[in-house]
Amino acid sequence: MKILKIFKATPEDVKLNQYTGSWAWLLHRLTGLGLLFYLILHMWVLGSANSGSEAFDRRLAAVQTPLFHLLEIGLIGMIFYHMFNGLAISIVDLFGLTRKHRSFIVAGVCLFAVFTLFAAALIIPRLGSHN
Amino acid sequence: MNAAISSRSAIFWFLQRITGLLLAAFLFTHIKVLHLDFNFAEQGLIDFSFVVKRLQASIGWGIFYFLFILSALFHGLNGFWGIVMDFRPGAKGRMIWLAAIWLFGIIVAVWSLSTLLVFYGGRS
């Protein structure tokens, strides 16, 4: 359970706090870190434009392979989870709906699943006819 | 915790919510245009001329990405600061982390915004 060590938690802590909110909080943290890492990587790829159009085309072509397009689905999933859970947190915080927080988290997870599956259904068939 | 720190924390908490709401709108648009509507199987790979043509079609895209970059950087780095604070660093550790995050944020912001300007100065 290395992940628990990173967050200074023990398996016992998780056993004692098996609430929807605890798991939503942990996933929000993990997807947030993943997206921050991706943002920096994305700016590094796009920043090659500072070295000219050829450098940009070369670097961008390297990340437009079938594998990267497949990984895009994971990225979109992380974005939608973080987005809908974040919206749920904002609504609960700004409108004083703490007592309803569990329903908002569940609604956020449902929206994340629907939007991610929709994106996957669009992207996967395109992988077969990749240029 | 004194009143000034508490008030500053409240402002950053509020800005985290505001940038989060802005990012939801920016990301929906960005994903729809470049990941869902754009079909790489039919339209080929995205290249420099494609980006220049798309951005130069409207200054609105420039404003969109300017705000997008700044919101994403603030939201991401302020969120990271929240994680750092979860580990309860000492006063010296807090200062080092805060300085590093600000320095990193300013460098990435300048780098990203200069990249955006390249596309407005380039030819498709």
Mean pLDDT of chain B: 91
Spacing of C-alpha A26 from chain mean position:
12
For residue B74, the chain A residues in CB contact (below 8 A) are none
Q: Is the pLDDT of residue A9 over 70?
A: no
**Residue A59: how many CA atoms within 13 Å on its side-chain side?**
17
CB nearest A50 (choices: B45, B76, B118): B118
> For residue A72, what are the contacts with CB-CB under 8 A and spacing of at least 6?
A123, B35
Q: Are the beta carbons of B86 and A25 closer than 8 angstroms?
A: no
Q: What is the pLDDT of residue B9?
A: 84
The whole-angstrom separation of Cα A79 and Cα A86 is: 10
* CA distance, residue A5 to nearest chain B CA (Å): 12
Q: Residue A89: CA atoms inside 13 Å, Cβ hemisphere, count?
A: 20
Beta strand residue intervals within chain B, DSSP E: none
CATH number of the domain encompassing residue A46: 1.20.1300.10
pTM of this prediction?
A: 0.88
Structure tokens at A50: 């500072």
Please check the confidence at residue A8 and state whether its pLDDT lies above 80: no
Tell me the shortest Cα–Cα distance from B47 to chain A, in angstroms. Answer: 5
Q: What is the distance between the alpha carbons of residues A44 and B107, in angstroms, rounded to a whole number?
A: 12
Q: Which of B23, B115, B119 to mutate to test the interface with A (most CBs of A within 10 A)?
A: B115
* pLDDT for position B50: 94
Does residue A65 belong to the interface with chain B, where contact is any CB pair within 8 Å? no
- The answer to whether the beta carbons of residues A24 and A5 sit under 8 Å apart is no
Q: Are A74 and A24 in contact (CB under 8 A)?
A: no
Q: Which member of B41, B79, B122 has the closest CB to residue A129? A: B41
Q: Are B69 and A40 in contact (CB under 8 A)?
A: no
Domain that holds residue A51: 2-127
Which ipTM was obtained for this model?
0.89
Domain count, chain A: 1
CATH level 3 topology of B3-121: 3 helical TM bundles of succinate and fumarate reductases (1.20.1300)
Q: Which chain B positions have a beta carbon within 8 Å of A32's beta carbon?
A: 76, 79-80, 83
What are the tens digits of pLDDT across the range A14-54?
Answer: 666 677 888 899 899 999 999 999 999 999 999 999 999 99
Which segment of A16-20, B85-89, B110-114 scores lowest on mean pLDDT?
Answer: A16-20
- Do residues A86 and B24 make contact, with C-beta atoms less than 8 angstroms apart? yes
